[in-house]
C-alpha cells in the first residue's frame, strides 16, 4: 500500500501553509543553530578543563563549574527547545491544514525567549548558578521562560481544534502532548525547588524534571517528526497505527513516574526509586515497539537511507532513542545503577538524549522543512553528508567514552576504602574522548550553521531536484527515485 499522490489543489494549499510558517520557523531554526554552535564549543572547553584542571587557573570564567552548566543550558534551552518549537509549529500547520497565524507575535516572543536564555547562560557563567542541573539559573528567570513558551505554543491549540481532517494523526497527538506537558513539569519543578524545599528533595525533583524533560518533551517531539517524515519519504503509511497510539498513551502514563531512580539507595522512601525504575522498564518496551514499528514501515525501501538526508538523520535518531531507553532501563535497576548513578555514565546518558536522539532527529526535520518554506534546495549534499558523519563520530565517541568511563569510575567508587580521587584519576583518560567528541560535533555544527545561513539569506540552490546524499544536484526527482524504488 502506498500513500496517494497530492492533487494540484493540495500542492497549492501546502505551499500557502509553508509561506505562512516561513519567517517564524526560520527564526527559531537559525537562532537554535547559533546556540547549538555556542553550546558545543562550551562543551569542548568544559571537557578540556575537566581533563586538565590546572588549565586557565587564573580565569574564574573558565572553571568547569561554570562552563559545564552554561553548556547544558545553551544546549537544552537555546538549541533543543527552539529547534523543537520551530518543528512543532510547521508540523501542526501542515497536519491540521491551517496557515500559521500571529507570526509576528511569535517572533517577538521568540526574541524574549532568546533574551531569557542569554540571561540564563550569562548568569551561570558569571557565577550566579545554584548547582541545580538545568535549573541552576537565578529564580527570577524561570517565569520569563514559562510565559514566553506558553505564548508561543498557545497558538497550536486553536490550530488543532480547527483542523480540517476528522482523524487525529499520531504526530498531532505527540505535538499537543509536548506542548502542554512541558509547562507542567517546568512549573512544578521550579515552584517546589524555589519555595524552600529541603535540598535532598530538591535534588530528587531536579532528577524528576530532567527525566521528564526527555520523556515528556524531547521524545514526543522526536516521535512526531519520525511518524511524519518516515512514512512521507517511504511513500507508505505507518505499519501499525494502534502501536503508535499505544506508545503515546504509555508515555503519557509512565513518564511522570521516572527520575528518582537516579538516587537509588539515597535518602528517599524505597518505593520512589523502585516505581521509577519499573516505569523506565515499561517505557523501554514502548520505545522498542515504536522503533520496530518505524523500521517495519521502511521494510523493503531502506535503501532510501543512502540518499535522503532527512531519512538518514531521523532513522539514526530513532535508533539512538532505542539505545537511550535500553540504557535508562538498565541503569534504573539496583544491580547496575548502584555503581553508575554518580559517575560519567549519567553525563553520557544525558548527552545521548539531548544530542544523540533528539538533535539528530531534529536535524532530519530541518533538512526536510527548510527547502519547503524557503523555496530553495540545500546548497551541498556533500556538506550534509559531512554533517551526518562528523556528528555520528562525535556522538558515538562521547557516549562510548562516557559510558565506559562511568563504569570504570563506578567500579572504583564501589570500593569503600578507596579515596574518591582514585576514581577520578582512573576515569580521566576517558574525558579525553569527551573533549575530542565535542570538537568533532562543533565542526559538524559549523557546517550545518553555514548551510542554514545560506538558506536564510536566500542563497539556496534554485535548480530542479532535491539535494540528496551520494547523488548530483538535480540528478533525481526524489530519494526514492535515486534509490531505484519508483
pLDDT per residue as tens digits for the range 290-331: 999 999 998 888 788 888 999 999 999 999 999 999 999 988
Q: For the chain, how far is it from start to end, CA to CA, in angstroms?
A: 14
Instruction: Tell whether 372 is covered by a domain.
Output: yes
pLDDT of residue 174: 96
Look at the chain and report how many structural domains it folds into: 1
Provide the residue count of the chain. Answer: 486
pLDDT of residue 4: 62
Instruction: Tell whether 246 is covered by a domain.
Output: yes
Q: What is the tens place of the pLDDT at every residue in 85-121?
A: 999 999 999 999 999 988 899 999 999 999 999 999 9
**Average pLDDT score over residue span 406-429:** 71
Q: Are 261 and 209 in contact (CB under 8 A)?
A: no
- What's the pTM? 0.94
Structural domain range at position 216: 8-482
Lowest-pLDDT range of 2-6, 188-192, 223-227, 466-470: 2-6
Instruction: Tell whether 2 is covered by a domain.
Output: no
Give the rounded percent of residues in the chain with a pLDDT score beyond 70.
Answer: 96
Instruction: Tell whether 175 is covered by a domain.
Output: yes
pLDDT at 415 over 80: no
Q: Are 164 and 222 in contact (CB under 8 A)?
A: no
User: What CATH number is given to the structural domain containing 392?
Assistant: 1.20.210.10
State how far the alpha carbon of 166 is from the alpha carbons of 81, 162, 169, 239, in Å.
Answer: 29, 10, 9, 21
pLDDT of residue 8: 78
Instruction: Tell whether 333 is covered by a domain.
Output: yes
Q: Count the neighbouring beta carbons within 10 Å of the beta carbon of residue 429.
A: 12
Instruction: Tell whether 111 is covered by a domain.
Output: yes
**Average pLDDT score over residue span 52-57:** 78
Instruction: Tell whether 1 is covered by a domain.
Output: no
Instruction: Tell whether 154 is covered by a domain.
Output: yes
The conformation of residue 141, written as its DSSP 8-state character, comes to T
pLDDT of residue 11: 82
pLDDT at 30 over 90: yes
Q: What is the tens place of the pLDDT at every residue in 434-465?
A: 888 889 999 999 999 999 999 999 888 887 77
pLDDT of residue 334: 82
State how far the alpha carbon of 372 is from the alpha carbons of 164, 299, 301, 467, in Å.
Answer: 21, 26, 23, 12
DSSP states along 368-392: HHHHHHHSSB-S-HHHHHHHHHHHH
pLDDT of residue 2: 55
Amino acid at each position: 500500500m502506498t500513500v496517494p499522490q497530492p492533487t494540484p489543489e493540495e500542492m497549492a494549499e501546502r505551499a500557502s501553509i509553508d509561506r505562512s510558517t516561513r519567517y517564524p520557523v526560520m527564526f527559531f531554526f537559525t537562532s537554535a543553530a547559533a546556540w547549538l554552535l555556542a553550546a558545543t564549543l562550551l562543551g569542548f572547553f568544559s571537557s578540556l578543563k575537566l581533563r586538565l584542571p590546572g588549565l586557565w587557573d587564573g580565569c574564574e570564567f573558565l572553571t568547569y563549574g561554570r562552563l559545564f552548566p552554561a553548556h547544558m543550558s545553551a544546549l537544552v534551552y537555546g538549541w533543543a527547545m527552539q529547534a523543537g518549537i520551530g518543528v512543532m509549529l510547521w508540523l501542526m500547520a501542515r497536519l491540521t491544514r491551517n496557515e500559521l497565524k500571529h507570526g509576528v507575535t511569535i517572533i517577538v516572543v521568540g526574541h524574549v525567549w532568546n533574551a531569557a536564555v542569554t540571561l540564563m547562560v550569562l548568569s551561570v557563567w558569571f557565577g550566579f548558578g545554584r548547582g541545580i542541573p538545568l535549573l541552576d539559573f537565578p529564580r527570577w528567570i524561570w517565569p520569563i521562560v514559562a510565559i514566553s513558551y506558553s505564548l508561543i505554543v498557545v497558538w497550536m491549540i486553536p490550530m488543532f481544534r480547527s483542523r480540517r481532517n476528522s482523524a487525529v494523526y499520531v504526530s498531532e497527538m505527540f505535538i499537543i502532548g509536548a506542548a502542554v506537558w512541558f509547562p507542567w513539569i517546568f512549573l512544578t519543578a521550579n515552584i517546589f525547588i524555589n519555595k524552600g524545599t529541603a535540598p535532598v528533595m530538591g535534588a530528587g525533583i531536579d532528577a524528576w524534571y530532567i527525566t521528564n524533560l526527555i520523556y515528556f518533551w524531547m521524545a514526543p517531539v522526536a516521535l512526531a517528526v519520525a511518524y511524519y517524515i518516515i512514512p512521507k519519504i517511504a511513500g507508505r503509511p505507518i505499519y501499525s497505527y494502534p502501536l503508535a497510539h499505544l506508545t503515546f498513551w504509555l508515555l503519557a502514563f509512565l513518564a511522570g513516574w521516572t527520575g528518582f531512580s537516579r538516587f537509588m539507595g539515597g535518602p528517599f522512601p524505597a518505593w520512589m526509586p523502585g516505581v521509577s525504575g519499573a516505569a523506565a522498564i515499561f517505557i523501554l518496551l514502548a520505545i522498542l515497539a515504536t522503533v520496530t514499528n518505524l523500521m517495519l514501515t521502511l521494510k523493503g525501501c531502506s535503501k532510501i537511507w543512502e540518499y535522503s538526508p532527512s531519512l538518514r538523520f531521523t532513522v539514526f535518531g530513532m535508533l539512538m532513542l532505542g539505545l537511550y531507553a535500553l540504557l535508562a532501563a538498565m541503569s534504573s535497576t539496583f544491580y547496575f545503577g548502584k555503581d553508575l548513578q554518580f559517575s560519567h555514565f549519567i553525563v553520557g546518558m544525558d548527552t545521548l538524549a539531548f544530542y544523540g536522539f533528539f538533535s539528530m532527529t531534529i536535524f532530519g526535520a530541518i533538512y526536510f522543512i527548510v527547502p519547503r518554506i524557503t523555496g530553495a534546495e540545500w546548497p551541498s549534499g556533500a556538506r550534509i553528508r559531512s554533517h551526518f558523519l562528523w556528528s555520528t563520530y562525535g556522538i558515538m565517541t562521547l557516549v562510548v567514552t562516557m559510558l565506559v568511563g562511568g563504569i570504570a569510575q563506578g567500579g572504583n567508587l564501589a570500593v569503600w576504602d578507596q579515596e574518591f580521587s582514585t576514581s577520578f584519576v582512573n576515569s580521566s583518560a576517558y574525558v579525553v574522548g569527551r573533549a575530542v567528541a565535542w570538537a568533532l560535533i562543533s565542526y559538524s555544527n559549523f557546517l550545518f550553521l553555514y548551510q542554514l545561513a545560506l538558506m536564510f539569506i536566500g542563497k539556496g540552490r534554485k535548480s530542479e531536484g532535491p539535494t540528496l546524499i551520494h547523488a548530483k544536484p538535480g540528478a533525481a526527482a526524489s530519494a526514492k527515485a535515486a534509490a531505484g524504488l519508483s
